[in-house]
């Protein structure tokens, strides 16, 4: 072994650019840890006297850039980022409950959230009551030990919309924090913090990234609330990678443009389904026939309603299986929000953990097809569904 070559290979090339110019895009900070000149320097960073980084599990320049962009978009005081949407949800909940506490949650939720609340929190002696958040008396479900109400802006998969303002006001009167999953809406459509939510969570894997190539989660709230979540996350360690931070920051640059196109296509597709004889029901708040249409217009800060919709097919479960096979290029994907249109079968994918009774209570039929409308020419999307439906 040539020791001279080995020493040079290990020690040379440290980051010290000598240039009057700066990178046009944010660099990728692929470093797990950071070096210090003195012990005092380390102490200054730990104590907060000086800005700096120690270990990427608790902070990285790329993550901080992403947080700054997201805080600005959302108009939030503070932001934390994680390795998945479920990590963001779990950290937000776990930082705000202790053994013996109680949570009220909507019974129409993403399946992973539902399972976390129903099954995993039992191990920590946290009780969860699932309610019909649209029709039940929420106040009557709140107990003295209730700490959180958990819900979604646009519910998955039924696209329900409830009055966030009223719910937040009532919960705050009782000392209950409201956590809202805004994944389907995105900040381009709705900003729940402005309607009173305490914490907003995202599966940034979905629209915030929008290209089906990153796993990520984001939490937004006030400084005190996010600080508690950050502490819990730093101990449990669901850290977002430097590369994913960079990709997600890049993707946010086009978020508003993408969401507008997704929404325009979804509305046209919903109108097509609404008039099709092989579709029993269409779930999309952008339709004037939707009972959520007027409320959505009040809550949403735009005239768009998102790229997600669902339909109940005539023929039930078998019809869903058949149309998935008949579609030509629209893929069957247990996720959503990519640039290309895709379909999902909730009872077999996102909500497969729910029992038949729970599905019935949540009004999720076995003939429900969920559609993530992409950015293609809308006539091509409709044409493909038309040909597939003709074969049923």
Please list the active-site residues.
57, 110, 181, 206
Q: What is the DSSP string of 59-107?
A: --HHHHHHHHHHHHHHT-SEEEEESSHHHHHHHHHHTT--TT-EEEEES
Cα gap 223→78, rounded to integer Å: 5
In terms of Cα–Cα distance, which of 128, 142, 124 is closest to 232? 124
26: DSSP letter: P
315: DSSP letter: T
* Orientation angle between helical segments 255-274 and 378-390, nearest 10 degrees: 40
Cα distances (angstroms) measured from residue 296 to each of 153, 189, 242? 10, 10, 36
Cα gap 224→197, rounded to integer Å: 14
Cα gap 56→42, rounded to integer Å: 15
Residue 265 falls in which region: left (phi positive, over 0), alpha (psi -120 to 50) or beta: alpha
In terms of Cα–Cα distance, which of 106, 59, 49, 105 is closest to 81? 59
123: DSSP letter: G
In terms of Cα–Cα distance, which of 206, 208, 252, 200 is closest to 226? 200
Q: 126-156 burial, b if ≥16 CB within 10 A, otherwise e?
A: bebbbbebbeeebeebbeeebbbbbbbbbbb
In terms of DSSP H, where are the helices of the chain? 3-11, 39-47, 61-74, 85-94, 111-118, 138-141, 164-173, 223-236, 242-252, 255-274, 293-299, 316-326, 356-361, 378-390
Burial of 340 (0-12, 13-18, 19+ CB in 10 A): middle
């Amino acid at each position: 072994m040539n020791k001279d070559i080995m020493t040079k290979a290990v020690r040379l090339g440290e980051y010290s650019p000598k240039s009057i110019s700066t990178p046009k895009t944010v660099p990728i900070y692929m470093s797990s840890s950071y070096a210090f000149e003195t012990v005092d320097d380390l102490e200054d960073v730990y104590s907060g006297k000086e800005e700096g980084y120690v270990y990427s599990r608790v902070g990285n320049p790329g993550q901080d850039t992403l947080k700054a962009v997201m805080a600005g978009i959302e108009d939030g005081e503070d932001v934390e980022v994680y390795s998945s949407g479920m990590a963001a949800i779990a950290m937000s909940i776990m930082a705000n409950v202790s053994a013996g506490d109680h949570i009220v949650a909507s019974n129409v939720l993403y399946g992973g959230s539902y399972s976390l609340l129903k099954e995993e929190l039992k191990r920590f002696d946290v009780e969860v009551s699932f309610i019909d958040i649209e029709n039940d008396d929420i106040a009557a479900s709140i107990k003295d030990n209730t700490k959180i109400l958990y819900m979604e802006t646009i519910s998955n998969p039924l696209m329900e919309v409830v009055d966030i303002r009223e719910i937040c006001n009532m919960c705050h009167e009782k000392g209950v924090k409201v956590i809202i999953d805004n994944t389907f809406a995105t900040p381009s459509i709705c900003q729940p913090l402005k309607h009173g939510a305490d914490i907003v969570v995202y599966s940034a894997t979905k629209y915030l990234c929008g290209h089906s190539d990153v796993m990520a989660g984001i939490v937004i709230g006030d400084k005190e609330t996010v600080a508690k979540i950050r502490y819990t996350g730093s101990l449990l360690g669901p850290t977002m990678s430097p590369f994913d931070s960079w990709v997600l920051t890049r993707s946010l640059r086009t978020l508003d443009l993408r969401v507008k196109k997704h929404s325009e296509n979804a509305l046209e597709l919903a109108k097509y389904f609404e008039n099709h004889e092989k579709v029993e029901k269409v779930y999309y708040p952008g339709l004037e026939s939707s009972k959520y249409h007027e409320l959505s217009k009040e809550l949403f800060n735009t005239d768009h309603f998102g790229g997600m919709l669902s339909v109940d097919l005539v023929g039930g479960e078998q019809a869903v299986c058949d149309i998935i096979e008949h579609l030509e290029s629209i893929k069957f994907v247990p996720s959503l929000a990519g640039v290309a249109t895709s379909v999902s079968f909730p009872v077999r994918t996102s909500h497969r953990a729910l029992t038949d009774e729970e599905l019935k209570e949540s009004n999720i039929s076995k003939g429900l097809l969920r559609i993530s409308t992409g950015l293609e020419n809308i006539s091509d999307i409709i044409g493909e569904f038309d040909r597939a439906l003709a074969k049923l």
